[in-house]
Amino acid sequence: MEILTYRDKRLALDFIPPTQPGRGIALSLHGGGLSTRASTDYLANCFTDRGIGWASFDCSGWGDSAGERSECSLADRRDDALIVLRHLGLPIDFLIGTSMGGYGALKLLEQTSARNLILFCPAAYASEAWSLRFGHGFSEAIRRPQSYLDSDAGDLCATYTGKVLYVAADHDAVIPKAVDDLYRTSFRQARRVDSLLLRDCPHPIHRWAIAKPERVEHIRSALSAFIDADLANAD
């Protein structure tokens, strides 16, 4: 772990550099709640074994990063990601987002690019929630009935032209079916869309996965196949 300092930010970053020429990084954006940069550690060697770098960090107010969570926002989380990317100076080959980080990945693509997008149970938020601090108005905004209908997530998906792996949980009690449907149907310009539905799985996919080796292997197998298909075309 290294601590990346930029102005008032102190971000905890895990980074494994790429080991093959021409390879970029896989950047993982964690969710809210109990999630941290370590949540997707079990996926890292799917990338590093293929010469792709790995980067994950704690957003401000989470894990080992500085900051008061209640004073942070979705917009701050994107700023954190941009700071990390400027520090690393490497292209994103695979952008990974989980839950809140899934929506964050879409918003990050407004500022940068990634050849592949991997989403685990991504959320969608009303546009008004973007800059609201988590402890000052954010919760109220997202609890408004069907607030996700005012999200720009669908429009952001529709403009993406790379390859997508969409991973959903069939017992997800957090993400409304309408949001799941939105993601499944909105990648109209994507070069390719693969889907994986995890059976008997709740919203916290990664905590569920690491509880049993066969779950880890199932996800890693699907992810590895997605990576290999991309590399076959890129090499």
DSSP 35-82: --GGGGGGGHHHHHTTT-EEEEEPPTTSTTS-S-GGG--HHHHHHHHH
235 pLDDT more than 60: no
Residues 99-113, mean pLDDT to the nearest whole number: 97
Mean pLDDT of the chain: 95
Q: Where are the domains of the chain?
A: 2-234
pLDDT value at position 142?
87
Token look-up 């196949």 returns: 225
**Domain range 2-234, CATH class:** alpha beta
Counting residues of the chain whose pLDDT is more than 90, the rounded percentage is 88
pLDDT value for 223: 98
Average pLDDT over residues 22-31: 97
Instruction: Give the mean pLDDT of 89-97.
Output: 98
Which has the higher per-residue pLDDT, 144 or 123?
Answer: 123
Q: What angle, rounded to 10 degrees, do the helices at 74-88 and 100-108 form?
A: 60
144-203: pLDDT as tens digits: 888 888 899 999 999 999 999 999 999 999 999 999 999 999 999 999 999 999 999 999
Q: How far apart are CA 8 and CA 6, in angstroms?
A: 6
**Residue 200 DSSP one-character state:** T
Mean pLDDT of 16-34: 96
Q: What is the pLDDT of residue 8?
A: 87
* Whether the Cβ atoms of residue 198 and residue 169 lie closer than 8 Å to each other: yes
pTM: predicted TM-score of the whole model, two decimal places: 0.96
Contact call for residues 166 and 137 (beta carbons, < 8 A) = no
Cβ neighbors of 3 (< 8 A, separation 6 or more) are 10, 11, 12, 13, 64
